[in-house]
Amino acid sequence: MELKLKYIPDFPDNKQLGFTLHYEEEVLPGFSYFRYLTRGEKPKLNMKDLGYKKDSRPSFNAFARRLRVAVCVRSDFEGMGESTARGYAALNQHFLMFTAFERYANEVVGVQERRYHKALPNVGEDIFKDLHKFIKEVDLNGALWQWLLSQKSNHYQAAQLLSFRNGFDPTKGIYVSAMLRNSFAHGVITATPAGVEQGCVQALCEQLCNLLYQGMVEDFWARMRVVKSNIK
């Protein structure tokens, strides 16, 4: 699936400042400017200025590379029906996108697995409220939701999913993504689990890919805006 950002803010011109545009710029606008500001013997910014973990710059670069893979990947499954192939392609892209999110959350922002809902502090709740509405629209019989809930490995996971489902905390929607990622990684989910409407898994994966992508990029942009006025 092709992923596109809703908007792209303006960043300083690389030709005027004399910095290189990197390949990751295509999927993470502002990355090249970030590199320009944070590298060298006397960098203009450090990671803590941006609210990230100290000395996490190499991890941020690795995150940007993985994000590029997740945005650019296209999967082809020969010998499968068209709907099944699309479902697995969406699961595969979502898996890669969530691994980018894990790197951003764990190694750059500095939150652990049970605090993933705190990983995007500069992103409004509306993006998660839209996810809540979307799931109800595509999973009309609730079969996919019940399937995901059945895959919980502990009471904590169930509590987070139910908190989101019942509308108590929209940001807990991130654990829907985590559950899908785990189910695919361990080979327990198919493109159409028993009782789930055809195309439902694909639609949810695509929605989550967009949420994660837009969310991570917007969080990065917000941090850059905060420090921009202090840069000379």
Distance of CA 133 to the CA centre of its chain: 19
Instruction: Round to whole Å and give the CA distance between 205 and 201.
Output: 6
pLDDT digit string, tens, across residues 125-155: 999 999 999 999 999 999 999 999 888 878 8
CA distance linking residue 4 with residue 58, whole number of Å:
26
Fill in the amino acid letter for 110: G
Q: What is the pLDDT of residues 157-181, one digit of tens each?
A: 899 999 999 999 999 999 999 999 9
Per-residue pLDDT at 42: 86
Model confidence, pTM? 0.95
Distance CA 168, CA 172 (A): 9
The amino acid that residue 60 corresponds to is: F
